[in-house]
Amino acid sequence: MMFPVRHRFWLILALSVCLFVVYSAVGERGFVRLSRMMNERDDLRAKVLALEESNVKLTRQVSLLRDDPVTIENLARTELGLVRDGETVYILPERARENPE
C-alpha cells in the first residue's frame, strides 16, 4: 500500500514534528533537563542564603567575643569554669536518682 506523494509529505512532516517535540522534551538540552537545572539552581540559592545568614550570625558572635566583656565573662564561667577573685565555689554532689521500681 503506497501513499500518494502528497500524503507522504504530510506523514513525513508530522513524524518530523513529533520527533522534534520529543527531542525538545527529553533531549540533551530539553525541557526536562532545563526544569531539573532550574530546581537545582533554586536549591543552591536557598543554601547560599542560609549560609549568608549563618555568616552574619557568626560575625556578630565573633564581634561579641572580641569586644563585649559580659559575653567574655559568661563564656569563661560556663565553658572554662573560671571564677572572680574572692568568689567561693561550692560543688554540690548530685542526688542519686530514685529508682521508680
Residue 17, in any domain of the structure? yes
Residue 97, in any domain of the structure? no
User: Who wins on pLDDT, 45 or 83?
Assistant: 45
Residue 98, in any domain of the structure? no
Residue 95, in any domain of the structure? no
Residue 92, in any domain of the structure? no
Phi, psi for 91 (deg, rounded to 5): -105, 115
Residue 101, in any domain of the structure? no
Domain membership of residue 61 as a residue range: 5-80
Distance CA 76, CA 10 (A): 84
**What are 47-53's contacts with CB under 8 Å, separation 24+?**
none
Residue 86, in any domain of the structure? no
pTM as predicted:
0.53
Give the number of domains in the chain.
1
pLDDT digits (tens, 9 = 90+) for 4-37: 777 888 888 899 988 888 877 777 777 878 888 9
pLDDT digits (tens, 9 = 90+) for 46-62: 999 999 999 999 999 99
- Looking at residue 100, its pLDDT comes to 57
